[in-house]
Amino acid sequence: MRLNIACIEGDGIGPEIVAEARKVLDKVALVYGHEMIYTNILMGGASIDVHGVPLTEEAIAAAKAADAVLMGSIGGDTITSPWYKLPPNLRPEAGLLGIRKALNLFANLRPAVLYDELADACPLKKEISSAGFDMMIMRELTGGLYFGERHTTEENGVRKAVDTLTYDENEIRRIAIKGFEIAMKRKKKVTSVDKANVLDSSRLWRKVVEEVAQNYPDVTLEHMLVDNCAMQLVKDPAQFDVILTENMFGDILSDEASMVTGSIGMLASASLNDSKFGLYEPSHGSAPDIAGKGIANPIATILSAAMMLRFSFDLDKEADAVENAVKNILKKGYRTIDIMSKGCTQVGCKEMGDLLADEIN
């Protein structure tokens, strides 16, 4: 099979981790008889440096022409980087929001898994973490507060800022359907998270999710208020299978869930539209403080590449091979610095990529 992949290396550690993901994909191609065709796209700070804007029309066209996009990470140090002297709509993050919207990537899948081998990294008490957890956060990605109208004004010397939170039922229904579909392939439980005791948008969310649930009688649906969910994630993370929620709640809860695993360098993500097309990126940021040092953990990006094989190309066997390689290498005791523990062998970004590529055969 020919896999047309657009690569956004991005900023900070982005280029290093994408290089290792490509190394692993190339090995998959070799072993399973596929052809990988890569096109590089500039986005974020890297695009600002060349074009003055974080995302160009050409970049969007190149992404659309590919079957899937593999991304590293974008953004820099918000205090020291000149990118953050620019107006907000020209900063690196605007590129990411822009490409999500342009490609209609409304469904964001963020798995948070506690790996047995990394259980010690979990910051929760043993009696809680020993139950293990494996959840999928499904975040609506192109609506809500992050895409609503906003403005800042000053009236009679008083500054005022407005952001608006809007959802229509179609936006809610399509992410809900994705959520239930994913749940059918997992433990068949959906926890829909909202703030229906206060917000109209949440009350509509709840109604539409219940309508969609009618078509999935095998899936157990529960509703949870977002503030309670934030507590439950640290109190009893094992209770969750699929968490289905709107854009801002998902942004916040997915960071919390990743922190609870204690190993954010391991967490992948996929952003999908209605077709097989998707953008795949690690859940972590661009870590400008360690960029170029060769110590970044490439595993989250490599696991994102595995999600790409699974969701955009239906190559389940190949995706399994990559995920098993990660488990085996952890079992053999290899760790990058962020997940290092006593008795293990510390390796750099490149070595980790080499080990994982070697493990696929």
Catalytic positions are 146, 195, 227, 251, 255
| Partner that binds at residue 67, options Mg ion, ligand IPM, none, CB closer than 5 to 8 Å by kind | none
Order of all β-strands in the sheet with 278-280: 35-40, 2-10, 68-73, 278-280, 270-272, 107-113, 134-140, 242-245, 189-194, 220-225
- Least Å distance, CB 229 to Mg ion, is 16
- Least Å distance, CB 245 to ligand IPM, is 13
Under 8 Å between Cβ of 203 and 165: no
| Partner that binds at residue 97, options ligand IPM, Mg ion, none, CB closer than 5 to 8 Å by kind | ligand IPM
Which residues, at least 6 apart from 361, have a Cβ–Cβ distance to it below 8 Å?
31
Under 8 Å between Cβ of 143 and 167: yes
* Residue 327 CA: distances (Å) to CA of 137, 163, 164, 299, 355: 21, 43, 43, 11, 12
Per-residue x/- track, 189-228, Mg ion (CB under 5 A):
----------------------------------------
Residue 96 in contact with ligand IPM, rule: CB under 6 A:
yes
Q: Contacting ligand IPM (CB under 6 A), which of 4, 84, 90, 93? A: 93
| Partner that binds at residue 323, options Mg ion, ligand IPM, none, CB closer than 5 to 8 Å by kind | none
- Span interacting with ligand IPM, options 91-99, 125-133, 213-221, 310-318, rule CB under 6 A: 91-99
Q: Is the sign of the CA dihedral 286, 288, 291, 295 positive or negative?
A: negative
Residue 354 in contact with ligand IPM, rule: CB under 6 A:
no
- Least Å distance, CB 82 to ligand IPM, is 18
When the beta carbons of 93 and 354 are compared against Mg ion, the nearer one is: 93
When the beta carbons of 93 and 354 are compared against ligand IPM, the nearer one is: 93
Under 8 Å between Cβ of 233 and 261: no
Residue 77 in contact with ligand IPM, rule: CB under 6 A:
no
- Span interacting with Mg ion, options 46-54, 147-155, 174-182, 245-253, rule CB under 5 A: 245-253
Tell me the C-alpha distance between 243 and 227, whole Å: 14
- Span interacting with Mg ion, options 84-92, 248-256, 277-285, 299-307, rule CB under 5 A: 248-256
Residue 359 in contact with Mg ion, rule: CB under 5 A:
no
Residue 165 in contact with ligand IPM, rule: CB under 6 A:
no
Exposure letters 116-128 (e unless 16+ CB within 10 A, then b): ebbbebbebeeee
The dihedral formed by the CA atoms of 350, 330, 133 and 265, expressed in degrees to the nearest 10: -20
Reduce the DSSP state of residue 260 to 3 states and report it: helix
| Identity of the residue numbered 92 | P
Residue 97 in contact with ligand IPM, rule: CB under 6 A:
yes
Residue 251 in contact with ligand IPM, rule: CB under 6 A:
yes
Burial class (CB in 10 A: 0-12, 13-18, 19+), 184: middle
Q: How many residues bind ligand IPM (CB under 6 A)?
A: 4
When the beta carbons of 91 and 335 are compared against ligand IPM, the nearer one is: 91
Q: Which residue number has the CB closest to ligand IPM?
A: 93
Q: Which residue number has the CB closest to Mg ion?
A: 251
Residue 138 in contact with ligand IPM, rule: CB under 6 A:
no
Tell me the C-alpha distance between 331 and 154, whole Å: 59
Under 8 Å between Cβ of 228 and 189: no
- Least Å distance, CB 30 to Mg ion, is 35
Q: Are strands 334-335 and 278-280 parallel, antiparallel or unpaired?
A: unpaired
Residue 251 in contact with Mg ion, rule: CB under 5 A:
yes
Tell me the C-alpha distance between 307 and 174, whole Å: 20
Binding site for Mg ion (CB under 5 A): 251
Binding site for ligand IPM (CB under 6 A): 93, 96-97, 251
